[in-house]
Structure 1
Amino acid sequence: MKVSTAETPDRIVPKRALLSVSDKTGLVDFARALSAAGVEILTTGGSKAELEAAGVPVIEVASVTDFPEIMDGRVKTLHPKIHGGLLAVRGEPSHAAAMDEHGIAGIDILCVNLYPFEQTVARGAGAAETVENIDIGGPAMIRAAAKNHGYVTVLVEPADYGDVLAAIAEPGGIPFALRRRLAAKAFSRTAAYDAAVSAWFTADAGGESGDFFAAGGRLAEALRYGENPHQWARFYRTTEQRSGVATARQLQGKALSYNNINDTDAAFELVSEFGDAAAAVAIIKHANPCGVATGASLAEAYAKALACDPVSAFGGIVALSGELDAEAAAKIVEVFTEVIIAPSASDEAAAIVASKKNLRLLVTGGLADPAAAGLAVRSVAGGLLVQSRDNGRVTAGDLRVVTKRAPTPAELADLLFAFRVAKHVKSNAIVYAKDGATVGIGAGQMSRVDSSRIAARKAEDAAAAARVSGRLTEGAVVASDAFFPFADGLEAAVAAGATAVIQPGGSMRDDEVIAAADAAGLAMVFTGMRHFRH
């Protein structure tokens, strides 16, 4: 392909624009201003009808192409007189000659926003309607105009109308810097649009990504910085319809930080595991739980969760499984907390939280479905790791008793509770639980025995803070996210006073670990499912 040597102008006074939008917000005012500036306006379909009704002079695209819209509007702008007008390099003699020969006039401004595919998917439309909302001509025109940004200004949403009109009013017209910035935005928009279409087709085909993987989203917020002040950060929303931090409404408090968003997501995903409980609360710090509990009320569950590690809870995130009420809110605000997230909040609770002006309160409208399919994406140098979301769940019917003693009904309930929590603790993970509450959590250690010891030590510290005699882990159950490779991890749990164990099983030394459990009189069950979380 020949590379043009034509010099790109710094500023351009536009003479002709093509406006074809699904979002009519601000369209009439934008078109009026263009027309007043001497810009001729081409348009199609619904945009034409709206502009004509407002008295804005327009030219129908069909009269330029000398070809009508056909196939219910599927074909209307896919024509050389449109794409030639967008792609022509004005300073290139061969392009100018082709324009003259074929009667092609240049298009200096393209304003197109795409069929509302994402919104169509979000409202649960059927396959036929969803497919009809896959835009073809729009992305083709946008890409053509963005490629030729040396001469063409491309707009993909009403938010940029003001910048373009202000530039037109300046001497010399629209500057190259603005044209290039809008071109970058245009390519990002079509990429995100294609990613949404790809995600829909992939989900419809079973959800497993194939040879190519596309990801995209819409900017929700530019954050002050990332994990550290020297890192920039942005928060993007994808098309996934899942209750959580990305879809939540913030009722009060300062803007969320990068770390707040990450931790709040971890907290809400964890507490959503207990949507079947009367009330559940999770307290998160650095993406790990420092206390999780269920109770007869949210206030009771919060008090039990806080007791697990009151020191780490300072400056943490609190997630609740039900509507935040005044009683729970009053207890939570007694401790410095960064974020509260819940499906909803009563007016009384919101008023109590409002006494802490920096405390963020988010409401989601519902819990996330822990069994729903989805994707988890992580970047590595030069690539992306993509996997299905860990939506595995273990029930009592999945458990296999491997010791001489079976767990009691009370132990069984705590074992299942602890294993749900362990799924959300960074590996290696050890969770002690008793009476529907965590009493010790060991997270992210290179050795499982170290996680066991840390969890027991945290429980001792919590007992000291509460001025409780004895160990909180005495009579508790213990969960491990993966198998015990050696008996020493189990022996650490025995030393902490645990009476029952839940773990995936599958180690070469399972017999040795089972023997150690039998020798200590423990009940142990295997799940057959592990929950590594790295």
Structure 2
Amino acid sequence: MPRDTTPVTRALLSVSDKTGLIEFARALSKRGIALVSTGGTHKALTEAGLPVTEVSELTRFPEMMDGRVKTLHPAVHGGLLAIRDNPEHQAALAAHGLQAIDLLVVNLYPFEATLAAGRPFDDCVENIDVGGPAMIRAAAKNHADVTVVVDVADYAAILGELKTHDGGIGAATRRRLAQKAFSRTATYDAAIANWFAGEIDADAAPAFRAFGGSLGQSLRYGENPHQAAAFYRSPGIARPGVATARQVQGKALSYNNLNDTDAAYECVAEFDAARTSAVAIIKHANPCGVAEASSLIEAYERALACDPTSAFGGIVALNRTLDADAARKIVEIFTEVIIAPDASEEAMAIVGAKKNLRLLLAGALPDPRAAGETVRTLAGGLLVQGRDNHSVDDMDLRVVTRRQPTPAELADMRFAYRVAKHVKSNAIVYARNGATVGIGAGQMSRVDSSITAARKAAEAAERLGLDASLAKGSVVASDAFFPFADGLLAAAEAGATGVIQPGGSMRDDEVIRAADEAGLAMVFTGIRHFRH
């Protein structure tokens, strides 16, 4: 068991991030703690007028090979790993003229930042730290005697401990920092390993996989109050979205907020902001209304009309800068989160009147075509897959019915298929004139999803005082093939005139015949969009 308090007489500092370094080192030095450092850290401390020994004086070897070799030496690792109350360890230190190191302060070469910046392969390799992780692991292993610091945010806590314990560090702090240290090296190595795997073969399944992250936010609870939860950011992944967004205002985000906001922003990113304004309203990770238009306010109003009941308490995602007109309309009903690339000052002031409404500004839209991975836990393991990064704009659409779709129908088919990609399977999306009019999500059979979506379209028409369902004259997108003709016929009965689906069923011929008999135009994409 770790001793209650261990004294600190010598500290080794080797940091790439020099935030707060001088102030921290000066406070250590004032306590009589001897300072040892490497390279750039030594230069910074010397220039600040602090007494500091260069690590090469301990190792009796100069830094070599462009700094690749400087701390990989018994003088460093013996000083970190020696057990203080082990006579043999102490004898070995004395025999070889080595000195114990009580405090290690290291932050690693900025590999994740180099990767996120899109730097070339060789630059990424040069930013792989070797000596740093080795020292961190050594100090963390010997946390009974050594304190290891890998985060500048812990400097103040260390100084507080030294004051409280008259120059020592308590056992609870050493243990906490050791756990943090091992997590840091694991996360660092995971980023390197996953990058390397992608460089070798993005489609390969490596024998070992590791995933890590840094704490972004502690959450009150998970999906339910009895579940503990936290949000972690993945190092080296520069995908714009919830993890990169700046929260301008509002309450702290919950687990469900984060999950739903991510789903909303990924959905709205399917719509090129250079071409159109688009809005997606999400509830429980499913779109309940999506629309595109010439302005955000029009897109929002059309998305809301699809299912205003479900939109209450939902997430609103926009693909363009939030303007005042759209902001005024959005805040008319209770909304949990708004996320957009940016917002005007006037729009932020309007949203600011709703103190609990969260406003997130992500800076940019994620690229729906970008490669990447999704990870899901199973009992005893992980499921890893590539992102569904296929866009309907890149698909070879094949008309399989006698009737060709009109240009308007084809445009709506593309729109509906963009949305269907983000609806939980089994997914059915009715769309007309660039807006969803009925969505069926997560049903156990495709025909049930078709019926649910048609019912939603009829209810929307009733709310608007229309005689005919909004599905009349719409097109239908299905995320996967129709295994039987019944789901397609339900769409035709609701008034749809066109269908877009992957195709590939054993009964495709039967489904095509049914479409021809109903006078539908049907297109096959060849690409399925299951989302579970």
What is the TM-score with the length of structure 2 in the denominator?
Answer: 0.97
Cα deviation, residue 119, structure 1: 1.6
Does 2:271 match 1:265? Answer: no
Does the 8 Å CA contact 2:16/2:110 hold for their aligned counterparts? yes
User: Residue 177 of structure 1 aligns to which amino acid in structure 2?
Assistant: A
SS at match of 1:395: helix
Does 2:251 match 1:254? Answer: yes
What is aligned with 1:355?
353
In structure 2, C-alpha distance between the alignment counterparts of 1:85 and 1:106, rounded to whole Å: 4
User: Which of 271, 274, 282 is matched with 1:274 structurally?
Assistant: 271
User: Residue 56 of structure 2 aligns to which amino acid in structure 1?
Assistant: A
Tell me the alpha carbon deviations over residues 282-326 of structure 1, each in whole angstroms, 9 at most, x when there is no partner.
Answer: 000000000001111111111110010010000001111111111
Q: May I ask how many residue pairs the two structures share in their alignment?
A: 528
Does the 8 Å CA contact 2:339/2:361 hold for their aligned counterparts? yes
| Range moving further from structure 2, 372-381 or 117-126 | 117-126
In structure 2, C-alpha distance between the alignment counterparts of 1:31 and 1:295, rounded to whole Å: 58
- 1:101-140 mapped onto 2 (5 Å cutoff): 101-140=95-134
Does 2:470 match 1:476? Answer: no
Alpha carbons of 1:397 and 1:150: their partners in 2 closer, same or farther (altered >3 Å)? closer
SS at match of 1:284: strand
Does 2:22 match 1:28? Answer: yes
What is aligned with 2:393?
395
| Range moving further from structure 2, 126-135 or 370-379 | 126-135
What is aligned with 1:72?
66
Does the 8 Å CA contact 1:373/1:388 hold for their aligned counterparts? yes
What is aligned with 2:240?
243
User: Which of 191, 197, 214 is matched with 1:196 structurally?
Assistant: 191
What is aligned with 2:515?
517
Does the 8 Å CA contact 1:396/1:416 hold for their aligned counterparts? no
What is the TM-score with the length of structure 1 in the denominator?
Answer: 0.97
What is aligned with 2:306?
308
Does 2:212 match 1:216? Answer: yes
Write out the 4+ residue segments of structure 1 that deviate beyond 3 Å after TM superposition. Answer: none
In structure 1, C-alpha distance between the alignment counterparts of 2:519 and 2:118, rounded to whole Å: 53
In structure 1, C-alpha distance between the alignment counterparts of 2:356 and 2:139, rounded to whole Å: 45
Tell me the alpha carbon deviations over residues 466-510 of structure 1, each in whole angstroms, 9 at most, x when there is no partner.
Answer: 222211101111110000001111111111111111111111111
Cα deviation, residue 260, structure 1: 0.7
Cα deviation, residue 130, structure 1: 2.0
Cα deviation, residue 47, structure 1: 1.2
- 1:363-374 mapped onto 2 (5 Å cutoff): 363-374=361-372
- 1:117-196 mapped onto 2 (5 Å cutoff): 117-171=111-165, 173-196=168-191
| Range moving further from structure 2, 12-21 or 397-406 | 397-406
Does the 8 Å CA contact 1:84/1:104 hold for their aligned counterparts? yes
User: Residue 62 of structure 2 aligns to which amino acid in structure 1?
Assistant: P
Does 2:506 match 1:508? Answer: yes
Does the 8 Å CA contact 1:280/1:294 hold for their aligned counterparts? yes
In structure 2, C-alpha distance between the alignment counterparts of 1:296 and 1:166, rounded to whole Å: 58
In structure 2, C-alpha distance between the alignment counterparts of 1:262 and 1:8, rounded to whole Å: 40
In structure 1, C-alpha distance between the alignment counterparts of 2:395 and 2:239, rounded to whole Å: 28
| Range moving further from structure 2, 98-107 or 439-448 | 98-107
Does the 8 Å CA contact 1:432/1:439 hold for their aligned counterparts? yes
Alpha carbons of 1:176 and 1:396: their partners in 2 closer, same or farther (altered >3 Å)? closer
In structure 2, C-alpha distance between the alignment counterparts of 1:340 and 1:319, rounded to whole Å: 6
User: Which of 26, 41, 44 is matched with 2:38 structurally?
Assistant: 44
Instruction: Give the unaligned 5+ runs of structure 1.
Output: 1-6
Instruction: Give the unaligned 5+ runs of structure 2.
Output: none
Alpha carbons of 1:397 and 1:312: their partners in 2 closer, same or farther (altered >3 Å)? closer
SS at match of 2:71: coil
Tell me the alpha carbon deviations over residues 157-182 of structure 1, each in whole angstroms, 9 at most, x when there is no partner.
Answer: 21111111211222462111110100
In structure 2, C-alpha distance between the alignment counterparts of 1:399 and 1:269, rounded to whole Å: 23
User: Residue 191 of structure 1 aligns to which amino acid in structure 2?
Assistant: A
SS at match of 2:462: helix
- 1:317-336 mapped onto 2 (5 Å cutoff): 317-336=315-334
In structure 1, C-alpha distance between the alignment counterparts of 2:185 and 2:28, rounded to whole Å: 25
Cα deviation, residue 511, structure 1: 1.2
What is aligned with 2:228?
232
In structure 1, C-alpha distance between the alignment counterparts of 2:418 and 2:117, rounded to whole Å: 31
In structure 2, C-alpha distance between the alignment counterparts of 1:171 and 1:27, rounded to whole Å: 22
Alpha carbons of 1:8 and 1:357: their partners in 2 closer, same or farther (altered >3 Å)? closer
In structure 1, C-alpha distance between the alignment counterparts of 2:354 and 2:466, rounded to whole Å: 31
Does the 8 Å CA contact 1:41/1:57 hold for their aligned counterparts? yes
SS at match of 2:308: coil
What is aligned with 2:450?
452
What is aligned with 1:428?
426
In structure 2, C-alpha distance between the alignment counterparts of 1:395 and 1:118, rounded to whole Å: 32
Does the 8 Å CA contact 2:460/2:469 hold for their aligned counterparts? no
User: Residue 199 of structure 1 aligns to which amino acid in structure 2?
Assistant: N
Does the 8 Å CA contact 1:272/1:321 hold for their aligned counterparts? yes
SS at match of 2:326: helix
Cα deviation, residue 397, structure 1: 6.2
Does the 8 Å CA contact 1:425/1:533 hold for their aligned counterparts? yes
Q: What is the CA RMSD across the aligned residues, in angstroms? A: 1.3
| Range moving further from structure 2, 340-349 or 476-485 | 340-349
What is aligned with 1:3?
none
Cα deviation, residue 91, structure 1: 1.4
Cα deviation, residue 396, structure 1: 7.8
User: Residue 502 of structure 2 aligns to which amino acid in structure 1?
Assistant: P
User: Residue 119 of structure 2 aligns to which amino acid in structure 1?
Assistant: A
User: Residue 125 of structure 2 aligns to which amino acid in structure 1?
Assistant: V
| Range moving further from structure 2, 388-397 or 299-308 | 388-397
In structure 2, C-alpha distance between the alignment counterparts of 1:206 and 1:431, rounded to whole Å: 35
- 1:90-105 mapped onto 2 (5 Å cutoff): 90-105=84-99
The alignment-based identity, stated in percent, is 67
Alpha carbons of 1:396 and 1:390: their partners in 2 closer, same or farther (altered >3 Å)? closer
User: Residue 320 of structure 2 aligns to which amino acid in structure 1?
Assistant: G
